[in-house]
Chain A
Amino acid sequence: MSEVVSLEAVLEILRAMHRITAEDPIWLRRGRRITILYEFEVDGELRSFRSTAEGSDWSFTEGTLSDDECNIVLRTDPAALYEVLHGVTGGREAMLSGRLSMRKDPEFPDLLLMRAMFNRYTKAKERGVLNDLGVGDVPESLVLPKKVGAGSADGDAGNA
């Protein structure tokens, strides 16, 4: 089922998600702040990216943070997060399969803030308004066809 999704594609989506969130009137009115550390397992290496969203301000840069400095630590592979953000896989499903994990016990309101950001991106994509929001869609070239015979993310999860 999984496509092989490049890390660049998922990073592009996460930046788009931040741009959508930063312009969302509900998010702006509620004035919340969240810091998420994304850890991607790519070809046996761990690449970390830290993101912060607060009102209309946001940042998304490569680098790590200590657990105390972030609300949520998500470890996943690019394909799993791509599938979650595109409604192919539920967040719970990805967690239960082991393809997505949270190292740090999340506070529930923070978990909801993260899901709110994910949901905004998913809705914008489903509604076909990504271009209207000025974020564009993920370039097709960044989503590669599934490699025949290669260990897919699903397969890896099955052996986890």
Chain B
Amino acid sequence: MTDVAQPDLVRNSWMLNLIDEAKAGRLPTPTFASWLITRACNLKCYYCFASARKKDPDELTTGEAMRVIEDLADTGVFYLSYIGGEPLLRKDIYQLIDYSTDLGIYTGIHTNGMLVREDTVAKLKDVGCQILGVSIDSHDPIVHDRVRGVSGSLVGAKRAVLESVKAGIRCSIRIVVTEDSLPALPDLFNWARDTGVEELIIIPIFMVGRAAGTPDDRRADILGKELFWKGLDVLREVANPLGITVPEEKVACCVGIELNTPDKENHHAGHAFGFERSTGCRVGKFIMNIQPNGDIFSCPFVQHKIGSLRTQSVREIWAHPLLRAAREGDMGCHARSIIHTGRPDVVDPTYNRSTEDLLAELPAGAKPLSLTPIQN
């Protein structure tokens, strides 16, 4: 593990203990909820794990959503991230963020940036939003807009980043590593640092949602994981000379990279600190994913319902056998268990195995996957 402990933390050792306890699967509740607050979206990214496009007909109402927020607060879930789709398409999003922060929950929103203007950021700040995450695939508008399926989307994403930094809301950039985004990583890293972004969240492509459904999903998953590792290598080359750390382990899930160098006063002040230390599968240990209708997935990429907040509490769902199994044993990635076996309750068959071995096991004749998006 990267040693990010600081001497000053001795006085707050509970923070470090908390992460260690969570990693050991000993927390009685999740610490973090990602909430796919709407599936409505104004973009059509080819890899979208949520297959976001239109609002689901059974989305939680404002009142139901507020009851969920109360349950999260009573449970002690202290970080909530509203994701989508495009969460700003939900008309009550400011009300929900306001309520989350009124109940003391550290709250962020993950947007594609298209709807973000100066006044949007001002409203987000007013309701207490503490992190604005923006997805970017490339510095090149042709590449980014092609991945996103809508021209002008890079302009919106960059505007959102700049407005967020200007307003003093912590900003993170999220990058899904694909063949399209891989070459852009160094430039995006440098641009993010120069702009005042505090962290990069690097995400592997998962063959779920819109990315799924071809006979080559398994091959694509294996290659996607390899691509993700390449992405981390690329970032390590630009980050390490600056004293910025990128996890060395061959993790296969989202990685947070803090962009504040160690000499900065606010080093480790942001979200990435916890992210860095929580590296690895967070299912059953840190995270719970809420769907637009209140259904619960164990993480955004494990598309398997384990409960519903319409009829159950967070604590009840946290005791689900699948999450207990994840706490008790190292099962690898549950999303990949589903991708490769169709079942979430078995050990990830790709876990700790080489790309070469895995590819050799695939049925002959399967064609290598191109991750290049289908042209409209």
Contacts and interface: CB of A to CB of B under 8 A. Distances in A.
A52 B359 CA distance: 62
A101 interface: yes
Contacts, number: 97
A92 interface: yes
Given A112-B103, A119-B102, A120-B102, A96 B73 contact: no
A122 B103 contact: no
A127 interface: yes
10 contacts: A93-B269, A95-B9, A96-B8, A96-B12, A98-B8, A105-B17, A109-B76, A111-B76, A154-B265, A157-B8
A60 to B, nearest CB: 19
Interface residues on B, range: 35 or more
A126 B126 contact: yes
B346 to A, nearest CB: 32
Contacts of B268: 96
Interface of A: 1, 24, 26, 30, 75, 87, 89-90, 92-93, 95-98, 101-103, 105-109, 111-120, 122-123, 126-127, 154, 157, 160
B239 to A, nearest CB: 20
Given A30-B70, A108-B77, 5 more contacts: A98-B11, A113-B104, A116-B102, A122-B128, A123-B127
Contacts of B99: 26
A108 B168 contact: no
Given A97-B8, A109-B74, A115 B265 contact: no
B76 A119 contact: no
Contacts of A30: 70
A160 B101 contact: no
Contacts of B266: 93
A122 B348 CA distance: 46
Interface in B254-279: 265-270, 273
A10 B27 CA distance: 34
B70 A115 contact: no
B12 to A, nearest CB: 5
Nearest to B269: A93
Interface in B127-176: 127-128, 130, 168, 170
B106 A115 contact: yes
Interface in B70-119: 70, 73-78, 99, 101-106
A105 B14 contact: yes
Contacts of A114: 104
